Amino acid sequence: MKRMTVVFLAFLFVFAGFAFSKTYIVGTSADFPPFEYVQNGRYVGFDMDLIQAIGKVEGFQVEIRDMSFDSLIPALKSGIIDIAIAGMTITPDRLQVVDFSDPYWSADQDVIVKKNSDYNLAVLFGNNKVGVQTGTTGDLWVSDNLIKTGILKHIVRYESFIYALQALINGEVNAVVLDSPVAQRFAQTQPVSIVGVIITNENYGIAVNKGNKTLLDMINDGLAKVKASGQLSQLVDKYFGK
């Protein structure tokens, strides 16, 4: 074969690979550092890198759609997105409507208050106001264990943790309940402190619409490969390293 032909064929293969590789729309809620957040106008974080890495080994492209956390499952159900990755806990209720990949992270719920305030864990009792993000496991825990039982009078639900955090700093709520890894990150970067942990033993999974076995198998295969190659521990170092 002539050299020119070889070069031409090489280009054709690269182009065809790019042009025909499938693009999946990936929903997230980019208010959850270090899993997903916005930096210099880009969606970055552990989950963002993880789904890109899975796409790379499985041969698909990723297009990120940012939305409120409680819109993610409806968006999967209606086909607006193909995949959801958002530090999403695998729960029995969610498993009724979507399918989850193998777990890739674990978390509990932390209670945060404004830095240098006098609050302790008793902030979860009585007349205090506790902020949560709508539809999260933090919301569910506070609703089921504190509000329904009458232990706590007020829960304030926010569409985004950004608003919940602002409300806490402005003194509109006395505490916020949220996932421990994210609370720890906020405690390093914002004027807030952790005053307690609620052990909930949650596991994060990547969600697809119920019954989308082909995509789920691909994600699990990619996840296993990304783990085995050491890329996953590199991501852990990148986003959680000291």
How large is the angle between the packed helices 231-240 and 213-228, nearest 10 degrees? 80
- Residue with smaller CB distance to ligand GLN, 44 or 57: 44
- At its nearest, how many Å lie between ligand GLN and the CB of residue 216? 18
- Residue with smaller CB distance to ligand GLN, 57 or 140: 140
CA-nearest of 96, 93, 98 to 219 is 98
Instruction: Please list the residues that pair with 209 across neighbouring strands.
Output: 98
- At its nearest, how many Å lie between ligand GLN and the CB of residue 88? 4
- At its nearest, how many Å lie between ligand GLN and the CB of residue 240? 16
- At its nearest, how many Å lie between ligand GLN and the CB of residue 160? 9
- Residue with smaller CB distance to ligand GLN, 88 or 226: 88
- At its nearest, how many Å lie between ligand GLN and the CB of residue 58? 24
Q: How far is CA 131 from the centre of its chain?
A: 18
- Residue with smaller CB distance to ligand GLN, 67 or 235: 67
- Residue with smaller CB distance to ligand GLN, 57 or 147: 147
Interaction site with ligand GLN (CB under 6 A):
29, 32, 69, 86-89, 133, 136-137, 179, 202
- Residue with smaller CB distance to ligand GLN, 133 or 209: 133
* Sheet strands (E) in 45-191: 60-66, 83-84, 98-100, 105-114, 126-133, 152-158, 175-179
Strands 175-179 and 105-114: antiparallel
CA-nearest of 30, 21, 187, 177 to 107 is 177
User: What would you report as the CA-atom Rg of the chain, rounded to the nearest whole angstrom?
Assistant: 21
Q: How far is CA 6 from the centre of its chain?
A: 45
- At its nearest, how many Å lie between ligand GLN and the CB of residue 182? 7
CA-nearest of 59, 69, 65, 68 to 83 is 65
Q: Residue 51: which residues within 8 A CB-CB, separation 6 or more?
A: 26, 62, 83, 85, 206
Q: Which two tokens stand for residue 49?
A: 């890198």
